[in-house]
């Protein structure tokens, strides 16, 4: 049975993750190594860790699947997911790090000096996190089912348990290095098989693709392709900065400059990775077009090595890809779980180690239940929806918060509620009712093109209408956000917190 290699690979990844979490990499140092111990994580390590956490099942499996089914239009997906970091680099990365915020609610509180905005941001972070976790669990189930004959929810449960055990046992102690390793594992798992696949393709006489609808942009099988494409671009470029697990990693940078350098490194690492899924999609169109018809697009990356190369080599390469897929589920899920649990513990359960443990359980169980209950859409589509929610709530908050002095508490609150609310509504509708036809379907399935401008508009307009609610310390905050750390300026003092 050919799936035994793949099963072994999955078990190996799972076992390695648990083992590293439980025993390994406890960086113990003795007396003379103070200097080494107090050295912060370098931008390249940090960037690898961000890449490891960011490249989810949607990137690893989903993009190739959507390219296979819908053709050239879907190339915007990898472009956008990498390009989001460009916007992050230019507009927010350094000021965000200088704000000292660890989570998005922290930033909201730092900038707007309001607990109400903070709590709203917390709720949104949790919603986005769950929306992002749900498809990870779902596709873990799908992948596991292609290997062993078990119900779909088993795979999700497996990933969820490994993540929970790891986080709870304190295994995330060396999380940066584990996640950095996961990035390189994922890159290898896609890059090595693709070399063999391309060789096999050459040996096969390099067959081309005749289907012009698939090859040309805006000719694909989706309705209203122009609108959908622009909406996708907006959601992915602007949504990245609002993802809870991205910001959390930036805290590890010692200062704003390091944050910028890290973002630059992330851009190159992701750019490198995102070349590959498109190749899988194109090869899949040649060798596995039947997957597009049966709706199994997400499986294309996993099945190609077996189909094209076959034999022992195909099995081994298939096993490598499957291991990469599980690495993707595990790393993204643990990153998200840690950040959602952090926000849950701090803002809802009142802080402390015990509430962090409880929060970890809640953070995992809810999306697991959702994954079992909700219909199964293509994984990249659901993740795209999470990006749309982030783009229409946190993007305006971050961009205006960093660059516009006149943002007020009321404005921020109104923008978050209206933008986040509309996007969430569209998401729930899409997931609950399935894809609709016509304009209605396009607007709901790709909401970013209308929710993002509305969110910005509401935030700006409400802020202009309530000039009295500009936070008292806005000048200080702006100095703190924008002045380089080396500059000796008055950044304000600590004051007792008022609730």
Partner 1 sequence: MEAAIAAFVLAVLIGVPAVVLFRILRGRRDLGSPVDRATFETLHTASLAAPPLRSGLTAHGAEKSARHLWALLGSAAVAITDAERLLAWEGAGERHAGAALAHAKDTLTGGRTQVLGPDAVACEDLDCPVRYAVVVPLTTDDRVVGTLVAYGTQASAGLVRAAEEVGRWVDAQLELAELDRSRSMLMEAEVRALRAQISPHFIYNSLTTIASFVRTDPERARELLLEFADFTRYSFRRNADFTTLAEELRGIDRYLLIERARFGGDRLQVTLRIAPEVLPVALPFLCLQPLVENAVRHGLEGKSGVGRITIVAEDVGAECLISVEDDGVGMDPEGMRRVLSGEGPQGMGVGLANVDERLRQVYGDAYGLVVETAVESGMKVSLRVPKYRPGVSAA
Contact residues for partner 1, defined by CB under 8 A = 26-31, 33-35, 37-41, 98, 100-103, 106, 109-110, 113, 170, 172-176, 251-254, 338, 341-343, 345-346, 351-353, 356, 359, 373-375, 428, 432-434, 468-469, 480, 485, 491-498
* Beta-carbon contacts of residue 208 (< 8 Å; ≥ 6 apart): none
Q: Which of residues 149 and 488 has its CB atom nearest to partner 1 in the complex?
A: 488
Q: Which of residues 341 and 364 has its CB atom nearest to partner 1 in the complex?
A: 341
- Here the tokens at position 423 are 């996007």
Q: Which of residues 209 and 365 has its CB atom nearest to partner 1 in the complex?
A: 365
Rounded least distance, CB 101 to partner 1, Å: 6
First-to-last C-alpha distance (Å) of the chain: 62
Residue 346 per-residue DSSP state: I
- Here the tokens at position 145 are 């089912």
Residue 229: half-sphere exposure toward Cβ, Cα within 13 Å: 17
Rounded least distance, CB 168 to partner 1, Å: 11
* Beta-carbon contacts of residue 376 (< 8 Å; ≥ 6 apart): 138, 142, 152
- Here the tokens at position 415 are 């923008």
SS3 at position 491: coil
> Helices 311-343 & 175-203, crossing angle to 10 degrees?
150
Closest CA to 95 of 260, 246, 261, 254: 260
Rounded least distance, CB 366 to partner 1, Å: 14
Angstrom distance (rounded) from CA 27 to CA 495? 36
Rounded least distance, CB 221 to partner 1, Å: 23
Closest CA to 258 of 46, 481, 491, 34: 46
Angstrom distance (rounded) from CA 21 to CA 389? 32
Angstrom distance (rounded) from CA 386 to CA 58? 11
Q: Which of residues 126 and 391 has its CB atom nearest to partner 1 in the complex?
A: 126
SS3 at position 497: coil
Rounded least distance, CB 322 to partner 1, Å: 28
Q: Which of residues 174 and 268 has its CB atom nearest to partner 1 in the complex?
A: 174
Angstrom distance (rounded) from CA 229 to CA 235? 10
366: left (phi over 0), alpha (psi -120 to 50) or beta: alpha
SS3 at position 295: coil
SS3 at position 121: helix
Rounded least distance, CB 437 to partner 1, Å: 16
Rounded least distance, CB 480 to partner 1, Å: 7
Rounded least distance, CB 381 to partner 1, Å: 17
Angstrom distance (rounded) from CA 179 to CA 51? 8
Which helix (H) or strand (E) segment holds residue 116: the answer is helix 115-147
Angstrom distance (rounded) from CA 69 to CA 258? 40
Rounded least distance, CB 337 to partner 1, Å: 10
Rounded least distance, CB 439 to partner 1, Å: 22
Asked if 135 and 382 count as a contact pair (C-beta separation under 8 A), the reply is yes
Q: Which of residues 397 and 449 has its CB atom nearest to partner 1 in the complex?
A: 397
Rounded least distance, CB 173 to partner 1, Å: 5
């Amino acid at each position: 049975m050919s799936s035994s290699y793949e099963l072994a690979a999955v078990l190996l990844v799972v076992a390695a993750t648990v083992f590293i979490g439980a025993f390994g990499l406890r960086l113990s140092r003795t007396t003379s190594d103070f200097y080494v111990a107090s050295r912060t994580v370098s931008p390249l390590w940090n960037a690898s860790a961000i890449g490891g956490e960011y490249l989810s099942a949607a990137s690893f499996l989903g993009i190739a699947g959507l390219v296979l089914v819908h053709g050239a239009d879907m190339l915007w997906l990898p472009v956008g997911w990498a390009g989001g970091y460009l916007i992050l680099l230019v507009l927010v990365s350094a000021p965000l790090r200088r704000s000292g915020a660890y989570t998005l609610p922290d930033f909201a509180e730092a900038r707007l000096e309001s607990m109400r905005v903070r709590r709203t941001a917390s709720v949104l972070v949790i919603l986005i996190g769950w929306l992002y976790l749900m498809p990870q669990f779902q596709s873990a189930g799908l992948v596991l089912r292609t290997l062993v004959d078990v119900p779909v929810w088993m795979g999700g449960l497996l990933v969820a348990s490994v993540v929970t055990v790891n986080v709870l046992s304190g295994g995330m102690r060396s999380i940066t290095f584990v996640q950095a390793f996961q990035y390189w594992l994922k890159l290898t798992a896609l890059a090595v098989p693709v070399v063999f696949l391309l060789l096999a393709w050459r040996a096969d006489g390099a067959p081309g693709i005749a289907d012009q609808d698939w090859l040309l942009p805006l000719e694909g099988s989706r309705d209203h392709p122009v609108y959908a494409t622009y909406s996708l671009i907006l959601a992915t470029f602007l949504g990245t900065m609002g993802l809870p697990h991205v910001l959390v990693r930036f805290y590890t940078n010692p200062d704003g400059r390091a944050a910028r350098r890290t973002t630059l490194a992330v851009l190159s690492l992701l750019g490198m990775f995102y070349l590959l899924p498109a190749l899988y999609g194109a090869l899949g169109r040649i060798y596995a077009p039947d997957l597009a018809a049966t709706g199994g697009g997400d499986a294309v990356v996993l099945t190609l090595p077996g189909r094209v190369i076959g034999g022992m080599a195909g099995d081994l390469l298939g096993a490598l890809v499957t291991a990469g897929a599980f690495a993707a589920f595990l790393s993204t899920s643990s990153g998200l779980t840690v950040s959602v649990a952090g926000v849950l513990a701090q803002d809802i359960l009142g802080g402390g180690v015990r509430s962090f443990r409880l929060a970890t359980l809640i953070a995992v169980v809810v999306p697991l239940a959702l994954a079992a209950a909700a219909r199964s859409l293509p994984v990249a589509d659901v993740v795209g929806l999470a990006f749309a929610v982030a783009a229409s709530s946190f993007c305006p908050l971050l961009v205006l918060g960093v660059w516009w002095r006149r943002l007020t508490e009321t404005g921020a609150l109104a923008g978050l509620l209206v933008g986040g609310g509309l996007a969430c509504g569209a998401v729930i509708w899409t997931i609950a009712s399935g894809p609709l036809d016509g304009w209605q379907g396009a607007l709901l399935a790709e909401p970013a093109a209308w929710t993002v401008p509305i969110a910005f508009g509401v935030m700006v307009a409400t802020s202009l209408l309530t000039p009295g609610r500009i936070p008292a310390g806005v000048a200080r905050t702006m100095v703190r956000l924008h002045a380089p750390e080396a500059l000796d300026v008055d950044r304000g003092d600590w004051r007792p917190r008022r609730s």
